Structure 1
Amino acid sequence: MSIKFLAEDDRPREKFLLKGKNSLSDSELLAIIMGSGNKDESAVELARRILTSVDNNWNQLSLLSVKDLVKFKGIGEVKAISIATALEIGRRRASQDIPEKITISNSRDAYNVLKNYLSDLRTEEFWAIFLNQSNKVIHVAQLTHGGISQSIVDVRILFKTALDHFATAVIIAHNHPSGSLDPSKDDMQITQKILGGGKTLSIQLLDHLIITQNSYFSFSDEGLL
């Protein structure tokens, strides 16, 4: 039976989207890599047969050459190369260390992350650092860019980005091209708006930095949060 005739919940790609990659069996993962089966077998059935031939062991499968793989009915050179490539990517990933995420312990740490983005600009930009529960940086993003004296941030975009990255805390920042470190009335208002929104979503606002060419102002350090 072709995949397109199976219930949607049983189709590997649809299952990936509906239930996540961890819900897929080994044969379903391999079926996605192959894309299709042959006239007698679905991609899942063909994948199951290939895996059975190597005792359902990915390491053993990685030892098969392109010539070995094309011996299976329905596996041409293109599919064989796709399988070998996916396994090689997995091998390289396993051999690499996971990069250590930067930990933010104070305003200086946050400034060091953002200063190269903001210190020399002639127009205002609004950026945010998104952190996990250990205060490790998981994402850094520019949210807006504006004129010489003001850049308005959409709070909805800020928190959508935080939710998309499963952040539990944020640090916001913008630059003052004028060189002034004094927070404006608008700076104070947006800080309080984000602080309140974060409490509703259980996303903590840790700090708001104003960055100039050579220095910065921290709302947290000044007791304004």
Structure 2
Amino acid sequence: MSAIKLWNEDDRPREKLLLKGVDALSDAELLAILINNGTTEQSAVDVCRALLHAVQGSLSTLSRLTVKEILQLKIKGIGPAKAVAIVAALALATRRELAEHKKTHITCSKDAAAYLKAKLQHKTNEVFAVIYMNQANFVLHYEELSVGGITGTVADPRIILKNALTNNATCIILCHNHPSGGLQPSRADKQLTEKVKQAALFMDITVADHIIVSERGYFSFADEGLL
């Protein structure tokens, strides 16, 4: 493949972004701007296409990799400096998402799922967390309570409700991720939800939902009539 500098100006990633805007560029072209150059045999775009191919085309998967893990992919043209640039850029994107959700007003399961995806999409293990809200459904606090492996997570209803009282929350949303991609709740998920719901009733705290998130979307206990 010829060097990018020999391409038509409209096809070069930097010039293309200036002329047509960021939406006109592919993921590989955007990454190519980050790494700046390729190899003697491949353009920066080709190198980034190879990198994306190694993660099945998933930016979400790429964003979870460390510098060491990117280097272990052994993509020709990606050395430590370029791996650092990629990790840093994707980390900034994640921080931007989180900043947008600092004072979140959750009015439906879609709102909750968007908030949680920003928090959990980069986790490689299953994480159980709780969103604590006030009467107006504004987020007061978010806390990850447990991390599990392939056997899942374990959450203690007493800790969940203690934290609700500490944060003056009147409403909570239980949540966890499925790194495997599946969205269907397990029997244990349903049992835990019911256990927390019943315990919360005695404290006048509402369990508004239990949200499961994965790369494929989200599952809402409330939407599915499981609360």
Q: Which amino acid aligns with 1:152?
A: V
Corresponding position of 2:150: 148
Corresponding position of 1:122: 124
Q: 2:138 aligns with which of 136, 141, 153?
A: 136
1:41-56 aligned within 5 A: none
SS of the aligned residue for 2:202 comes to helix
Go from structure 1 to structure 2 and tell me whether the alpha carbon gap of 1:148 and 1:117 turns closer, same or farther (over 3 Å shift): farther
- TM-score, normalising length from structure 1? 0.54
Bigger radius of gyration: 1
Q: Which runs of 4+ in 1 moved over 6 A?
A: none
- 2:154 and 2:223 map into 1 onto residues whose CA distance is 23
Gaps of 5+ in 1: 1-99
Corresponding position of 2:172: 170
Q: Which amino acid aligns with 2:115?
A: V
- 2:135 and 2:119 map into 1 onto residues whose CA distance is 25
- 2:183 and 2:161 map into 1 onto residues whose CA distance is 26
1:73-222 aligned within 5 A: 101-222=103-224
Identical amino acids, percent of aligned pairs: 44
Q: Is the 8 A contact 1:111 1:216 kept in 2?
A: yes
CA-to-aligned-CA distance 1:21-78 (integer Å, 9 cap, x gap): xxxxxxxxxxxxxxxxxxxxxxxxxxxxxxxxxxxxxxxxxxxxxxxxxxxxxxxxxx
Corresponding position of 2:64: none
The structural deviation recorded for 1:140 is: 0.8
- 1:150 and 1:175 map into 2 onto residues whose CA distance is 10
Q: Which amino acid aligns with 1:209?
A: I
1:30-41 aligned within 5 A: none
1:19-38 aligned within 5 A: none
Q: Which amino acid aligns with 1:157?
A: I
> Aligned Cα RMSD in Å?
1.3
Alignment size in residue pairs: 126
The structural deviation recorded for 1:148 is: 2.2
Gaps of 5+ in 2: 1-101
The structural deviation recorded for 1:149 is: 3.4
CA-to-aligned-CA distance 1:87-123 (integer Å, 9 cap, x gap): xxxxxxxxxxxxx932110001111111122223221
SS of the aligned residue for 1:201 comes to coil
- 2:213 and 2:125 map into 1 onto residues whose CA distance is 12
Q: 1:223 aligns with which of 215, 221, 225?
A: 225
Q: Is the 8 A contact 2:182 2:216 kept in 1?
A: no
Corresponding position of 2:40: none
